[in-house]
Chains A and B, each alone.
Chain A
Amino acid sequence: MVDREAIADRIEAQVRMMGEIAPTDTEFTRDVHMFDYGYLDSFGAAELVAFVENTFSIGLSDDDLAHRALNTVNEIAAFVFERARRP
């Protein structure tokens, strides 16, 4: 069974590593807008997309990227959870 919390754990860990986010950074949460707050830039966003696709074996279409809110760890985890449960 797909564990949504585990998905969020993996994504958060990846973002923390990519963004070199200090453990003491209290502004970084699973609901913070990662791009607005500067944790990831345009190239980080592309790298994160590749990570999500490879790690969870799902595809993110251009339509997904253009029209789905995928700006926080929780938003991305919810998306992955939804896709992983598709038959």
Chain B
Amino acid sequence: MRFDIAMVPNQVVGHLLYALHFCDESIVSFRQLGTVLEVEASGASGELERRVQTLIARFAQSDLDFQVHVLSSSTVEQRSTAVVDPYRSLVEQGLVVEIGGGRCVLRGWMARLVEAIDAEARCRVARPAGAEPEAYPNAITCEVLARTNHISSFPEHLHFVSHLHSNLDLIDKVGGMARGKSNWDAELAQNVKAATASPHLVLNPSVCYHCYASRAGTMVGESIVVTARSRCHRYEGGALQGLRRLSDFDMREVIFLGHPDRVREHRTHAEEALVTWATEWDLAADLVTANDPFFTDEFEVKAAFQRRQELKHELVVPMPEGAPMAISSSNYHSTTFGKAFGITRSDRPACTGCIGFGLERWAYAIVLRHGLDVERWPETIRAALARH
């Protein structure tokens, strides 16, 4: 099927193509040919055409300034990144083990590199801000997540969690059916589905929500800073792309709460530390304005506001092909979460902000830039590996 996308602004086409991955389960593949979108689907579906047209219309309304503004440009030598994407080599060498569905196991120096990156984030960004460490659960209740507006903004990414009904007959049926099977087949899946309670939990889509939820109804004063690390989970449909886009990934966040001026200051200092770090590790990274990939019909209002107010900045690195990859992001939330969770500073809702580090993406960025021979990496990175 072919669709006209001439009315979608060039700067927004990438958002449309990403959103297509979640549009209809019959979509097998798609490609952009100039102002035409070509979609291949399995089987005829009248709903497919309507859904794609709805998505196109949604992004066609976005006639606002979506130009990327570079806040800090890399000062390191702008040589090209790896000519050939090293991801397959990482897999062939057993440093990355793909286990399906956008999940992987890291081994050897890749696993140690991720730990070193996390340690550096704590030393360079969290500690100078006076961040206290916190530890969070791996899932969050649907009730709490709804208060963050995450469900209204990014429902397509949510991994809902459930369990079997506490019902002896159903549990015995599922257990009995699984006994003797060595695989997960359609019959077992259907019976589990029928015996499963409605989901009340979601695997963490982000780290910082637990920080706010656990402080609901409390006063935080003018400034507090905390830091935490968590596995994060975002369903990506057909948009999976090696280490660049996993569905299950590791994230370190430093989170700021309090007076808007203090939160802004913390964010600025954290970004300065971030840029210094990227420079010392010889990463050709730029700090740029960005927006979240809002999927619902809130896209135009929220994304435009995010860009104009510079609520989201990303540290991006060049890729052998395609758009740059964001390895860190800093966000200013104003009083969104302060109001949602009744967190205050004196008699006003607290403001919040955060800076996040995608640990697998950082590791991938280092390999892209410096190659697979660790002994030839910059001394700054090798020293960090040895130190941590």
Contact = CB atoms under 8 A, between A and B. Distances in A.
B70 interface: no
A35 interface: yes
A80 B308 CA distance: 19
A46 B301 contact: yes
Q: Which 9 A-B pairs have the closest CB atoms?
A: A38-B335, A42-B305, A66-B65, A38-B334, A36-B260, A62-B64, A42-B302, A37-B260, A42-B301
A66 B308 contact: yes
Contacts of A33: 260
B338 A38 contact: yes
B336 interface: yes
Interface of B: 63-65, 260, 264, 301-302, 304-309, 332, 334-336, 338-339, 348-349, 351
A62 B305 contact: no
B338 A45 contact: no
A41 B334 contact: yes
Given A46-B301, A65-B308, A66-B308, A38 B64 contact: no
17 contacts: A36-B264, A36-B334, A37-B334, A37-B335, A37-B351, A38-B260, A38-B349, A41-B334, A41-B336, A42-B301, A42-B304, A42-B305, A62-B63, A65-B304, A65-B308, A66-B64, A67-B65
A35 B351 contact: no
B54 to A, nearest CB: 21
Contacts of B64: 62, 65-66
Nearest to A28: B348
Interface residues of A, number: 18
Contact of B351 (A38, A42, A62): A38
Contacts of B307: 66
A86 to B, nearest CB: 22
A27 interface: yes
B302 to A, nearest CB: 5
Nearest to A45: B305
Nearest to A63: B65
Contacts of A25: 348
A35 B334 contact: yes
A67 B304 CA distance: 13
A27 B334 CA distance: 15
Given A38-B338, A41-B305, A42-B301, 9 more contacts: A35-B309, A35-B334, A36-B260, A36-B309, A36-B332, A42-B304, A46-B305, A62-B63, A62-B65
Contacts of B335: 37-38
B306 A42 contact: yes
A9 B349 CA distance: 25
Interface string A13-44: 00000000000010100000101111001110
A1 to B, nearest CB: 32
Nearest to A25: B348
Nearest to B338: A38
A63 to B, nearest CB: 7
B325 to A, nearest CB: 25
A35 B338 CA distance: 14
A11 B260 CA distance: 23
A34 to B, nearest CB: 10
Contacts of B339: 38
